Structure 1
Protein backbone atom coordinates (compact mmCIF):
# COMPACT_ATOMS: atom_id res chain seq x y z
CA UNK A 1 0.00 0.00 0.00
CA UNK A 2 1.43 3.36 -1.06
CA UNK A 3 2.12 5.88 1.69
CA UNK A 4 -0.04 9.00 1.82
CA UNK A 5 1.35 11.82 -0.27
CA UNK A 6 3.21 14.69 1.36
CA UNK A 7 1.26 17.92 0.90
CA UNK A 8 3.19 21.15 0.23
CA UNK A 9 1.94 24.70 -0.26
CA UNK A 10 3.95 27.01 -2.49
CA UNK A 11 3.32 30.71 -1.85
CA UNK A 12 4.16 31.52 -5.47
CA UNK A 13 3.40 29.70 -8.73
CA UNK A 14 5.61 26.78 -9.71
CA UNK A 15 6.02 25.42 -13.21
CA UNK A 16 4.31 22.19 -14.22
CA UNK A 17 7.74 20.60 -14.54
CA UNK A 18 8.66 21.42 -10.93
CA UNK A 19 5.34 20.16 -9.60
CA UNK A 20 5.83 16.96 -11.61
CA UNK A 21 9.31 16.57 -10.10
CA UNK A 22 7.74 16.69 -6.65
CA UNK A 23 4.94 14.31 -7.64
CA UNK A 24 7.53 11.72 -8.66
CA UNK A 25 8.59 11.72 -5.01
CA UNK A 26 4.97 11.34 -3.83
CA UNK A 27 4.78 15.03 -2.96
CA UNK A 28 1.74 17.03 -4.07
CA UNK A 29 2.25 20.79 -4.44
CA UNK A 30 -0.56 23.33 -4.23
CA UNK A 31 0.52 26.79 -5.38
CA UNK A 32 -0.99 30.24 -5.02
CA UNK A 33 0.33 33.78 -5.63
CA UNK A 34 0.30 35.45 -2.23
CA UNK A 35 1.78 38.62 -3.71
CA UNK A 36 1.56 40.42 -7.03
CA UNK A 37 4.07 42.84 -8.52
CA UNK A 38 3.27 45.92 -10.57
CA UNK A 39 5.75 48.30 -12.22
CA UNK A 40 5.69 51.97 -11.23
CA UNK A 41 4.80 53.94 -14.35
CA UNK A 42 4.76 57.57 -13.24
CA UNK A 43 5.87 60.07 -15.89
CA UNK A 44 8.56 61.44 -13.58
CA UNK A 45 10.07 58.01 -12.95
CA UNK A 46 10.00 57.09 -16.65
CA UNK A 47 11.78 60.35 -17.52
CA UNK A 48 14.44 59.90 -14.84
CA UNK A 49 15.17 56.28 -15.75
CA UNK A 50 15.40 57.15 -19.44
CA UNK A 51 17.81 59.97 -18.58
CA UNK A 52 20.02 57.49 -16.73
CA UNK A 53 20.34 55.42 -19.92
CA UNK A 54 22.81 57.93 -21.35
CA UNK A 55 24.84 58.19 -18.14
CA UNK A 56 27.63 56.07 -16.70
CA UNK A 57 26.22 54.58 -13.51
CA UNK A 58 26.66 51.61 -11.22
CA UNK A 59 23.23 49.96 -10.99
CA UNK A 60 22.18 47.72 -8.10
CA UNK A 61 19.43 45.10 -8.42
CA UNK A 62 18.26 42.82 -5.63
CA UNK A 63 15.28 41.26 -7.43
CA UNK A 64 14.27 40.08 -10.86
CA UNK A 65 11.26 42.40 -10.61
CA UNK A 66 13.56 45.43 -10.45
CA UNK A 67 15.49 44.26 -13.49
CA UNK A 68 12.32 43.62 -15.48
CA UNK A 69 10.79 46.98 -14.53
CA UNK A 70 13.88 48.90 -15.68
CA UNK A 71 14.26 46.79 -18.83
CA UNK A 72 10.61 47.42 -19.76
CA UNK A 73 11.19 51.16 -19.46
CA UNK A 74 14.47 51.30 -21.36
CA UNK A 75 13.67 48.75 -24.11
CA UNK A 76 17.34 48.82 -25.17
CA UNK A 77 20.17 48.05 -22.76
CA UNK A 78 22.51 50.98 -21.97
CA UNK A 79 26.11 50.11 -22.78
CA UNK A 80 27.67 52.30 -20.08
CA UNK A 81 26.22 50.74 -16.91
CA UNK A 82 28.10 48.59 -14.43
CA UNK A 83 25.81 46.25 -12.53
CA UNK A 84 25.85 44.74 -9.05
CA UNK A 85 23.14 42.17 -8.41
CA UNK A 86 21.88 39.22 -6.44
CA UNK A 87 22.74 35.89 -8.02
CA UNK A 88 20.66 33.24 -9.77
CA UNK A 89 17.29 34.56 -11.05
CA UNK A 90 18.20 38.24 -10.77
CA UNK A 91 21.58 37.66 -12.41
CA UNK A 92 19.87 35.68 -15.17
CA UNK A 93 17.47 38.57 -15.82
CA UNK A 94 20.37 41.04 -15.99
CA UNK A 95 22.26 38.77 -18.36
CA UNK A 96 19.21 38.36 -20.60
CA UNK A 97 18.92 42.14 -21.09
CA UNK A 98 22.49 43.41 -20.77
CA UNK A 99 24.69 40.36 -21.21
CA UNK A 100 27.05 39.14 -18.51
CA UNK A 101 30.00 41.47 -19.22
CA UNK A 102 28.36 44.38 -17.40
CA UNK A 103 28.10 42.46 -14.12
CA UNK A 104 30.80 43.61 -11.70
CA UNK A 105 29.75 41.60 -8.65
CA UNK A 106 27.07 39.21 -7.43
CA UNK A 107 26.18 37.77 -4.04
CA UNK A 108 23.59 35.46 -2.52
CA UNK A 109 22.11 38.12 -0.24
CA UNK A 110 21.75 41.90 -0.15
CA UNK A 111 24.05 42.26 2.86
CA UNK A 112 26.85 40.38 1.10
CA UNK A 113 26.33 42.43 -2.05
CA UNK A 114 26.59 45.64 0.00
CA UNK A 115 29.92 44.48 1.45
CA UNK A 116 31.16 43.68 -2.06
CA UNK A 117 30.24 47.18 -3.24
CA UNK A 118 31.96 48.76 -0.23
CA UNK A 119 35.14 46.76 -0.78
CA UNK A 120 35.25 47.62 -4.49
CA UNK A 121 34.50 51.29 -3.80
CA UNK A 122 37.45 51.52 -1.41
CA UNK A 123 39.79 50.22 -4.09
CA UNK A 124 38.26 51.99 -7.07
CA UNK A 125 35.29 54.39 -6.67
CA UNK A 126 32.14 52.91 -8.14
CA UNK A 127 30.92 56.34 -9.27
CA UNK A 128 27.23 57.17 -9.23
CA UNK A 129 25.46 54.29 -7.50
CA UNK A 130 21.76 53.74 -8.26
CA UNK A 131 19.62 51.19 -6.39
CA UNK A 132 16.50 50.00 -8.24
CA UNK A 133 14.11 48.57 -5.65
CA UNK A 134 10.50 47.83 -4.79
CA UNK A 135 8.25 49.63 -2.33
CA UNK A 136 8.75 46.72 0.09
CA UNK A 137 12.39 45.76 0.28
CA UNK A 138 14.95 44.57 2.77
CA UNK A 139 17.06 47.09 4.67
CA UNK A 140 20.34 45.17 4.80
CA UNK A 141 21.84 46.54 1.59
CA UNK A 142 20.85 50.23 1.82
CA UNK A 143 21.50 50.46 5.57
CA UNK A 144 24.94 48.89 5.21
CA UNK A 145 25.87 51.28 2.41
CA UNK A 146 24.76 54.27 4.50
CA UNK A 147 26.68 53.03 7.56
CA UNK A 148 29.82 52.80 5.44
CA UNK A 149 29.37 56.21 3.83
CA UNK A 150 28.68 54.91 0.33
CA UNK A 151 26.25 57.32 -1.31
CA UNK A 152 23.49 56.06 -3.59
CA UNK A 153 20.24 57.12 -5.21
CA UNK A 154 17.22 54.86 -4.79
CA UNK A 155 14.37 54.50 -7.26
CA UNK A 156 11.20 52.55 -6.47
CA UNK A 157 10.47 50.89 -9.81
CA UNK A 158 7.87 48.32 -8.75
CA UNK A 159 5.25 47.78 -6.07
CA UNK A 160 4.54 44.57 -4.18
CA UNK A 161 0.88 44.00 -3.35
CA UNK A 162 -0.18 41.45 -0.74
CA UNK A 163 -2.81 38.93 -1.86
CA UNK A 164 -3.85 36.96 1.24
CA UNK A 165 -5.79 33.74 0.73
CA UNK A 166 -7.27 31.51 3.43
CA UNK A 167 -6.20 27.85 3.32
CA UNK A 168 -8.03 25.65 5.82
CA UNK A 169 -6.09 22.57 4.70
CA UNK A 170 -3.22 21.30 6.85
CA UNK A 171 0.04 21.07 4.88
CA UNK A 172 3.17 19.13 5.77
CA UNK A 173 5.29 22.01 4.55
CA UNK A 174 4.99 25.54 3.20
CA UNK A 175 7.48 27.15 0.82
CA UNK A 176 8.13 30.88 1.16
CA UNK A 177 10.10 32.94 -1.37
CA UNK A 178 9.94 36.43 0.13
CA UNK A 179 9.19 38.23 3.37
CA UNK A 180 6.18 39.83 1.66
CA UNK A 181 4.71 36.41 0.89
CA UNK A 182 5.20 35.43 4.55
CA UNK A 183 3.32 38.54 5.71
CA UNK A 184 0.56 37.89 3.19
CA UNK A 185 0.14 34.23 4.18
CA UNK A 186 0.08 34.77 7.93
CA UNK A 187 -2.29 37.72 7.63
CA UNK A 188 -5.17 35.25 7.28
CA UNK A 189 -3.68 31.82 8.12
CA UNK A 190 -2.20 29.91 11.03
CA UNK A 191 -0.30 26.62 10.79
CA UNK A 192 -0.04 23.43 12.81
CA UNK A 193 2.97 22.96 15.08
CA UNK A 194 4.40 20.16 12.93
CA UNK A 195 4.22 22.06 9.63
CA UNK A 196 7.72 22.70 8.29
CA UNK A 197 8.49 26.09 6.74
CA UNK A 198 10.95 26.31 3.86
CA UNK A 199 12.53 29.73 3.28
CA UNK A 200 14.39 31.02 0.24
CA UNK A 201 16.81 32.99 2.39
CA UNK A 202 17.70 34.36 5.80
CA UNK A 203 15.48 37.46 5.61
CA UNK A 204 12.47 35.34 4.70
CA UNK A 205 13.29 32.96 7.55
CA UNK A 206 13.52 35.87 10.00
CA UNK A 207 10.06 37.04 8.95
CA UNK A 208 8.61 33.55 9.45
CA UNK A 209 9.97 33.57 13.02
CA UNK A 210 7.82 36.62 13.76
CA UNK A 211 4.69 34.53 13.23
CA UNK A 212 5.48 31.05 14.52
CA UNK A 213 8.03 28.82 16.25
CA UNK A 214 7.85 26.03 13.66
CA UNK A 215 10.91 24.38 12.16
CA UNK A 216 12.41 26.48 9.35
CA UNK A 217 14.68 25.06 6.67
CA UNK A 218 16.60 27.57 4.52
CA UNK A 219 17.46 26.62 0.96
CA UNK A 220 21.09 26.57 -0.15
CA UNK A 221 20.44 28.86 -3.11
CA UNK A 222 17.90 31.63 -3.58
CA UNK A 223 15.79 30.03 -6.31
CA UNK A 224 12.31 28.51 -6.32
CA UNK A 225 13.78 25.31 -7.72
CA UNK A 226 16.22 24.98 -4.84
CA UNK A 227 13.52 25.67 -2.25
CA UNK A 228 11.47 22.84 -3.76
CA UNK A 229 14.48 20.52 -3.90
CA UNK A 230 15.19 21.34 -0.26
CA UNK A 231 11.63 20.36 0.66
CA UNK A 232 11.82 17.16 -1.41
CA UNK A 233 15.09 16.16 0.28
CA UNK A 234 13.62 16.91 3.70
CA UNK A 235 10.65 14.58 3.22
CA UNK A 236 12.47 11.72 1.48
Structure 2
Protein backbone atom coordinates (compact mmCIF):
# COMPACT_ATOMS: atom_id res chain seq x y z
CA UNK A 1 0.00 0.00 0.00
CA UNK A 2 1.26 3.46 -0.89
CA UNK A 3 0.70 5.13 2.46
CA UNK A 4 0.22 8.88 2.31
CA UNK A 5 1.44 9.77 5.78
CA UNK A 6 0.90 9.29 9.48
CA UNK A 7 -2.48 8.84 11.11
CA UNK A 8 -3.11 10.98 14.18
CA UNK A 9 -5.70 9.51 16.55
CA UNK A 10 -7.18 12.24 18.74
CA UNK A 11 -8.32 10.02 21.63
CA UNK A 12 -6.89 7.38 23.94
CA UNK A 13 -7.21 3.92 22.44
CA UNK A 14 -8.19 0.74 24.22
CA UNK A 15 -5.74 -2.17 24.20
CA UNK A 16 -7.87 -3.89 21.58
CA UNK A 17 -7.83 -0.79 19.39
CA UNK A 18 -4.06 -0.46 19.79
CA UNK A 19 -3.66 -4.05 18.67
CA UNK A 20 -5.89 -3.37 15.67
CA UNK A 21 -3.76 -0.36 14.72
CA UNK A 22 -0.54 -2.34 15.09
CA UNK A 23 -1.86 -5.22 13.01
CA UNK A 24 -2.94 -2.84 10.24
CA UNK A 25 0.66 -2.00 9.40
CA UNK A 26 -0.21 1.70 9.28
CA UNK A 27 1.82 4.40 11.01
CA UNK A 28 -0.53 5.44 13.81
CA UNK A 29 0.17 8.14 16.42
CA UNK A 30 -2.06 8.49 19.48
CA UNK A 31 -2.50 11.97 20.98
CA UNK A 32 -5.61 12.37 23.14
CA UNK A 33 -7.29 15.78 22.96
CA UNK A 34 -9.87 15.06 25.65
CA UNK A 35 -9.75 13.65 29.17
CA UNK A 36 -12.41 11.69 31.00
CA UNK A 37 -13.20 12.43 34.64
CA UNK A 38 -15.15 9.53 36.11
CA UNK A 39 -17.69 10.29 38.81
CA UNK A 40 -18.87 8.05 41.62
CA UNK A 41 -21.57 5.77 40.31
CA UNK A 42 -24.93 6.65 41.92
CA UNK A 43 -26.00 4.19 44.62
CA UNK A 44 -29.70 4.94 44.92
CA UNK A 45 -31.09 4.62 41.42
CA UNK A 46 -34.74 5.11 40.47
CA UNK A 47 -36.56 2.05 39.20
CA UNK A 48 -36.67 1.55 35.46
CA UNK A 49 -37.31 -1.21 32.95
CA UNK A 50 -34.02 -0.67 31.17
CA UNK A 51 -30.54 0.78 31.46
CA UNK A 52 -28.93 2.52 28.49
CA UNK A 53 -25.23 3.04 27.73
CA UNK A 54 -23.90 4.75 24.60
CA UNK A 55 -20.25 5.08 25.71
CA UNK A 56 -17.80 2.73 27.38
CA UNK A 57 -16.80 5.68 29.58
CA UNK A 58 -20.18 5.40 31.30
CA UNK A 59 -19.41 1.81 32.28
CA UNK A 60 -16.09 2.46 34.04
CA UNK A 61 -17.37 2.97 37.60
CA UNK A 62 -20.43 0.75 37.28
CA UNK A 63 -20.53 -1.26 40.50
CA UNK A 64 -24.02 -2.76 40.48
CA UNK A 65 -24.54 -5.93 38.49
CA UNK A 66 -27.78 -7.17 40.02
CA UNK A 67 -30.07 -5.22 37.70
CA UNK A 68 -32.68 -7.62 36.34
CA UNK A 69 -34.01 -5.44 33.54
CA UNK A 70 -32.85 -4.99 29.98
CA UNK A 71 -29.45 -3.39 29.36
CA UNK A 72 -28.93 -1.63 26.03
CA UNK A 73 -25.59 -0.63 24.52
CA UNK A 74 -24.49 1.10 21.34
CA UNK A 75 -21.09 0.29 19.91
CA UNK A 76 -18.91 -2.79 20.20
CA UNK A 77 -16.59 -1.36 22.86
CA UNK A 78 -19.50 -0.37 25.11
CA UNK A 79 -21.00 -3.86 24.88
CA UNK A 80 -17.62 -5.45 25.67
CA UNK A 81 -17.15 -3.21 28.72
CA UNK A 82 -20.60 -4.16 30.03
CA UNK A 83 -19.95 -7.86 29.46
CA UNK A 84 -16.79 -7.58 31.54
CA UNK A 85 -18.99 -6.17 34.32
CA UNK A 86 -21.29 -9.19 34.09
CA UNK A 87 -24.08 -7.74 31.95
CA UNK A 88 -25.68 -9.24 28.89
CA UNK A 89 -26.70 -6.46 26.54
CA UNK A 90 -29.15 -5.84 23.75
CA UNK A 91 -27.78 -3.88 20.86
CA UNK A 92 -28.51 -5.66 17.59
CA UNK A 93 -26.82 -3.65 14.87
CA UNK A 94 -27.00 -0.47 16.94
CA UNK A 95 -23.75 1.34 16.20
CA UNK A 96 -25.31 4.75 16.87
CA UNK A 97 -27.44 6.29 19.60
CA UNK A 98 -30.24 6.87 17.08
CA UNK A 99 -30.43 3.22 16.00
CA UNK A 100 -30.29 2.12 19.64
CA UNK A 101 -33.19 4.45 20.50
CA UNK A 102 -35.22 2.90 17.69
CA UNK A 103 -34.52 -0.59 19.05
CA UNK A 104 -35.56 0.44 22.56
CA UNK A 105 -38.83 1.88 21.27
CA UNK A 106 -39.50 -1.24 19.19
CA UNK A 107 -39.05 -3.36 22.32
CA UNK A 108 -41.84 -1.43 24.02
CA UNK A 109 -39.73 -0.07 26.88
CA UNK A 110 -41.70 2.45 28.95
CA UNK A 111 -39.03 3.68 31.38
CA UNK A 112 -35.24 3.75 31.26
CA UNK A 113 -32.11 5.14 32.90
CA UNK A 114 -29.59 6.70 30.53
CA UNK A 115 -26.02 6.68 31.90
CA UNK A 116 -24.09 9.38 30.08
CA UNK A 117 -21.50 12.14 30.24
CA UNK A 118 -21.96 15.85 30.76
CA UNK A 119 -21.62 16.36 27.00
CA UNK A 120 -24.01 14.04 25.27
CA UNK A 121 -25.87 14.01 21.98
CA UNK A 122 -29.60 14.66 21.79
CA UNK A 123 -30.73 12.00 19.33
CA UNK A 124 -31.53 9.27 21.84
CA UNK A 125 -33.33 11.38 24.49
CA UNK A 126 -35.30 13.28 21.85
CA UNK A 127 -36.39 10.16 20.00
CA UNK A 128 -37.44 8.30 23.14
CA UNK A 129 -39.36 11.34 24.39
CA UNK A 130 -41.36 11.37 21.14
CA UNK A 131 -42.13 7.68 21.69
CA UNK A 132 -43.39 8.31 25.22
CA UNK A 133 -40.51 6.61 27.03
CA UNK A 134 -39.87 8.03 30.51
CA UNK A 135 -36.14 8.68 30.51
CA UNK A 136 -34.02 9.62 33.51
CA UNK A 137 -30.43 10.71 32.89
CA UNK A 138 -27.56 9.89 35.24
CA UNK A 139 -24.31 11.75 34.51
CA UNK A 140 -21.45 9.42 35.46
CA UNK A 141 -18.47 11.09 33.77
CA UNK A 142 -17.28 14.46 32.49
CA UNK A 143 -15.48 15.09 29.22
CA UNK A 144 -12.73 17.70 29.56
CA UNK A 145 -10.92 19.36 26.67
CA UNK A 146 -7.15 18.76 26.67
CA UNK A 147 -5.82 20.75 23.69
CA UNK A 148 -2.36 19.98 22.31
CA UNK A 149 -0.36 21.06 19.28
CA UNK A 150 -0.20 18.19 16.78
CA UNK A 151 2.98 18.18 14.64
CA UNK A 152 1.16 16.99 11.53
CA UNK A 153 2.65 17.24 8.05
CA UNK A 154 1.28 17.38 4.52
CA UNK A 155 -0.53 14.15 3.65
CA UNK A 156 -1.18 13.12 7.25
CA UNK A 157 -4.64 12.02 8.37
CA UNK A 158 -6.53 13.09 11.49
CA UNK A 159 -9.06 10.75 13.10
CA UNK A 160 -11.79 12.41 15.19
CA UNK A 161 -14.05 10.27 17.39
CA UNK A 162 -16.12 13.06 18.96
CA UNK A 163 -17.17 16.69 18.50
CA UNK A 164 -15.24 17.48 21.70
CA UNK A 165 -11.99 16.36 20.08
CA UNK A 166 -12.67 18.68 17.15
CA UNK A 167 -13.23 21.62 19.49
CA UNK A 168 -10.08 20.78 21.43
CA UNK A 169 -8.02 20.49 18.22
CA UNK A 170 -9.24 23.91 17.07
CA UNK A 171 -7.86 25.57 20.19
CA UNK A 172 -4.21 24.97 19.24
CA UNK A 173 -4.21 23.86 15.59
CA UNK A 174 -5.32 25.00 12.15
CA UNK A 175 -7.53 22.94 9.86
CA UNK A 176 -5.01 22.64 7.04
CA UNK A 177 -6.37 21.74 3.60
CA UNK A 178 -3.32 19.53 3.02
CA UNK A 179 -4.47 17.13 5.74
CA UNK A 180 -7.05 14.36 5.45
CA UNK A 181 -9.91 14.34 7.96
CA UNK A 182 -11.80 11.26 9.14
CA UNK A 183 -14.83 11.28 11.44
CA UNK A 184 -16.49 8.45 13.34
CA UNK A 185 -20.00 9.70 12.53
CA UNK A 186 -22.17 12.48 11.17
CA UNK A 187 -22.29 14.52 14.39
CA UNK A 188 -18.50 14.74 14.47
CA UNK A 189 -18.45 15.43 10.72
CA UNK A 190 -20.90 18.30 11.17
CA UNK A 191 -18.63 19.82 13.82
CA UNK A 192 -15.73 19.64 11.37
CA UNK A 193 -17.84 21.36 8.71
CA UNK A 194 -18.58 24.19 11.12
CA UNK A 195 -14.80 24.67 11.39
CA UNK A 196 -14.55 25.06 7.63
CA UNK A 197 -13.44 21.53 6.70
CA UNK A 198 -15.05 20.63 3.38
CA UNK A 199 -13.66 17.19 2.57
CA UNK A 200 -14.46 14.71 5.35
CA UNK A 201 -14.28 10.92 5.29
CA UNK A 202 -17.08 9.62 7.51
CA UNK A 203 -16.99 6.01 8.68
CA UNK A 204 -19.78 3.71 7.52
CA UNK A 205 -19.87 2.24 11.04
CA UNK A 206 -19.20 4.16 14.25
CA UNK A 207 -15.98 2.38 15.22
CA UNK A 208 -12.24 2.96 15.15
CA UNK A 209 -11.80 -0.28 13.22
CA UNK A 210 -14.15 0.95 10.48
CA UNK A 211 -12.20 4.21 10.22
CA UNK A 212 -8.91 2.33 9.82
CA UNK A 213 -10.43 0.07 7.17
CA UNK A 214 -11.78 3.06 5.27
CA UNK A 215 -8.38 4.79 5.37
CA UNK A 216 -6.59 1.65 4.18
CA UNK A 217 -9.06 1.19 1.31
CA UNK A 218 -8.69 4.78 0.16
CA UNK A 219 -4.89 4.70 0.34
CA UNK A 220 -4.01 1.44 -1.39
- Relative to the length of structure 2, the TM-score reads 0.86
Inter-partner Cα distance in structure 2 for 1:212 and 1:195: 13
Inter-partner Cα distance in structure 1 for 2:4 and 2:197: 25
Inter-partner Cα distance in structure 2 for 1:99 and 1:146: 26
Partner of 1:12: 11
Inter-partner Cα distance in structure 2 for 1:194 and 1:120: 47
Gap regions ≥5 residues in structure 1: none
Tell me the CA shift for residue 79 of structure 1. Answer: 4.0
Matched, 1:40 2:42: no
Rg comparison, structure with higher value: 1
Tell me the CA shift for residue 67 of structure 1. Answer: 1.6
Matched, 1:78 2:66: yes
Partner of 2:187: 203
Tell me the CA shift for residue 10 of structure 1. Answer: 0.9
How do 1:80-159 and structure 2 match up within 5 A? 80-100=68-88, 102-103=89-90, 107-121=94-108, 126-159=109-142
Matched, 1:50 2:43: yes
- Relative to the length of structure 1, the TM-score reads 0.81
Partner of 1:64: 56
Q: Is the 8 A contact 1:219 1:230 kept in 2?
A: yes
Inter-partner Cα distance in structure 1 for 2:2 and 2:43: 57
Q: Is the 8 A contact 2:10 2:160 kept in 1?
A: yes
Inter-partner Cα distance in structure 2 for 1:18 and 1:105: 23
- Bigger Cα displacement from structure 2, 153-162 vs 6-15: 6-15
Matched, 1:216 2:200: yes
2:28 aligned counterpart, secondary structure: strand
Inter-partner Cα distance in structure 2 for 1:10 and 1:186: 15
Inter-partner Cα distance in structure 1 for 2:219 and 2:93: 31
Which of the two has greater helix per residue? 1
CA RMSD of aligned residues (A): 2.4
